[in-house]
Amino acid sequence: MEKTAQCNGSESCKDGGETITNAANGTQPFCFSAEPTMDDIRRLQAEFTAERDWNQFHQPRSLLLALVGEVGELSELFQWRPDATEGLPGWTEAERERLEHELSDVLIYLLELAEKCRVDLPRAVLCKMALNRAKYPAGRVRGSARKYTDFSFSEMSVIHQTGGTDKQAPKLNCCGAAHKQTCSNLRMMSMYSLVQHKAKVFLVVLYHCSCSA
């Protein structure tokens, strides 16, 4: 999606040939501005920190705690708000502005934490999405909120054999090892489920034999 104007909740975006108009409280499709990029934000925060000689304080552990604090501030906005559905209908402009501020605080600290940990976050996100697609093949888990570790043996087998059935799964070389590890984990879980299943069958047979004896 490419946005054609700076985003303040009322601009238009282009998704392919389709033009999308963002509405502040709407439930219509929504997109972000093309800029700033993640690296733009990382650089802006790095400049902000360096100008104040705050790098001495901005070590990974402290940044993580700051991030958690900002998540807490964000959570306060949603506390006791059952009306907080998609598009946030009924929220005032002031409430939406506070939301923008807290979301931004969270993102800024997250990106600075990634920088200080030397994690290339945009690339890492692509890899993680590929792993998520492998763990949750759309054709198998659609409409289900179960965690992948709660899938049945047969479901796990299908997932392992296919390595994911999601046609949109990106082919990323950077995720090759991680994807193999995921498949390996799924295979181990499948075997564990099989052992559990056989143990249950054995106990049932044993129970019936003892009853008939």
Residues in the site for Mg ion, rule: CB under 5 A?
Answer: 70, 73, 102, 105
Contact between 128 and 170 under an 8 Å Cβ cutoff? The reply is: no
Partners of 144 in the β-ladder: none
User: Which of residues 70 and 166 has its CB atom nearest to Mg ion in the complex?
Assistant: 70
* Nearest distance in Å: CB 98, Mg ion: 9
User: Which of residues 102 and 166 has its CB atom nearest to Mg ion in the complex?
Assistant: 102
User: Which of residues 95 and 105 has its CB atom nearest to Mg ion in the complex?
Assistant: 105
* Nearest distance in Å: CB 105, Mg ion: 4
* Nearest distance in Å: CB 101, Mg ion: 6
Cα-based distances in Å from 30 to 12, 26, 44, 101: 9, 9, 25, 19
Evaluated on CA atoms 75, 86, 3, 6, the torsion sign reads negative
* Nearest distance in Å: CB 60, Mg ion: 19
Q: Could you tell me which of 171, 157, 159 has the C-alpha nearest to residue 129?
A: 171
Q: Please tell me whether residue 19 adopts helix, strand or coil conformation.
A: strand
User: Which of residues 102 and 155 has its CB atom nearest to Mg ion in the complex?
Assistant: 102
By beta carbon distance, the residue nearest Mg ion is 105
For tokens 């046609």, what's the residue?
Answer: 167
Cα separation, 104 vs 111, in Å, equals 10
* Nearest distance in Å: CB 76, Mg ion: 10
User: Which of residues 103 and 194 has its CB atom nearest to Mg ion in the complex?
Assistant: 103
